[in-house]
Amino acid sequence: MTSQFSRLAGLAFAACCLMGSAAVVASEYPTTSVNVVVPYSPGGGVDTIARIVTQRMAEELGQPIVVDNKPGAGTNIGMSYVARAKPDGYTLYAASNTITTNKALYPSLPFDPMEAFAPIGKIGEAPLVVVVNSESPFQSLQDLIDHGRKNADSLTFGTAGMGSSGHMATELLLRAAVFKAMHVPYKGGSQAVTDLLAGRLSFMAINPIEVVSHVEAGKLRALAVLNKDGTHLLPDLKTAASMGVDVESTVWWGLVAPVGTPDDVVATLHKALQTTLNDPEVQEAMKNRGARALPGSSDEFKTFMKKESDALSTIIKEAGITVD
């Protein structure tokens, strides 16, 4: 009996040591740098917002945050990389609209993004604007629509990739205004803007972060903003709705971790994100780029993504948009 008691006591002591050790490790997170994967090329909207936010979050966490650009395959390269990563809080994903659309666009995707990630929190959003080259014959949104109605497949629009905010916003615009245009996907918004500036694309729906400087310089012409309230970066720009086109679309951003990441690690990251988003300097930096910070709970972000996924998957199916 004494031997059995000693063995049980020893096991209990070992278990307590292990639990204590795990608690110490969790409480010390992070002990080294954290990687945030951006699934687009440097210089685009997602990359810009990610760098603004992670710089301040690093101060909160007490460790560097490295932004790692992994563009390609409609964000599936970066998304898959993080989905397969060790769920320890050291590899995160800068999520945007494609996390809610890619399972519908790529049925053979080996995971469901709505199940493969643990939401940390939403970062914010920005309205999308429709822009054309300044030498384009289209002086208004109606000019663009009329041309697309009369000249099937003569228009091209560029985006940051399949399922991106610009892609889905344009699909909504095409449906609402009943005209046609051919989609040209890129690995990032900045690359698409380069071709728009060179006159190789007809138009784009894109967040103002990436084009307002070109509009102000007279290189691009803004035709409409795709929200109800307009954008302070282009205060004279009318909404599509005010011109009789019932469409509203935004680009949004958030942070997620691989599913299975410990709850206390997710909580630590969420707290750092909320502190960051409530920082007036961060809010001002985002505002200067046409975006607004949107602090909120992890559960709220999860509910938001699920609602977006359901709605956009329906649009993708009805429009017959396929990639595989």
- For 229-258, what is each residue's pLDDT tens digit? 899 999 999 999 999 999 988 889 999 999
Which pLDDT score is estimated for 140?
97
User: Could you give the CA distance from residue 177 to residue 223 in angstroms, rounded to a whole number?
Assistant: 14
Length of the chain: 324
pLDDT of residue 20: 44
Confidence check: pLDDT of 64 > 60: yes
Query: What fold does the segment set 31-125+251-319 form as a domain?
Result: D-Maltodextrin-Binding Protein; domain 2 (3.40.190)
Separation between Cα atoms, residue 224 and residue 129, nearest integer Å: 6
Mean of the pLDDT values across residues 86-91?
98
Domain with CATH 3.40.190.150 in the chain: 31-125+251-319
pLDDT of residue 107 exceeding 50, the answer is yes
Mean pLDDT over 293-316 rounds to 94
Using 50, 70 and 90 to split pLDDT, how confident is the model at 318? confident
Q: How many C-beta atoms lie closer than 10 Å to residue 229's C-beta?
A: 9
Q: Tell me the Cα Rg of the chain.
A: 23
pLDDT band at 160 (very low <50, low <70, confident <90, very high): confident
Average pLDDT over residues 54-60: 97
| CATH number of the 127-250 domain | 3.40.190.10
pLDDT at 19 over 80: no
Whole-model pTM over 0.75: yes
Q: Which residue has the higher pLDDT, 17 or 306?
A: 306
- What pairing do the DSSP bridges indicate for beta strands 65-69 and 34-38? parallel
CB 213 within 8 A of CB 221: no
Residues 197 and 274: their CA atoms lie apart, in Å, by 37
- The confidence score (pLDDT) of residue 44 equals 83
Burial of 317 (0-12, 13-18, 19+ CB in 10 A): exposed
d(CA 96, CA 101): 10
Q: Which of 121-130, 188-197, 310-319 bottoms out in mean pLDDT, i.e. has the lowest?
A: 310-319
Location of each CATH 3.40.190.10 domain in the chain = 127-250
pLDDT recorded at residue 190? 86
Task: Look at residue 76 and tell me whether its pLDDT is greater than 90.
Answer: yes
Q: Which residue intervals of 128-200 are DSSP H helices?
A: 141-150, 165-177, 189-197
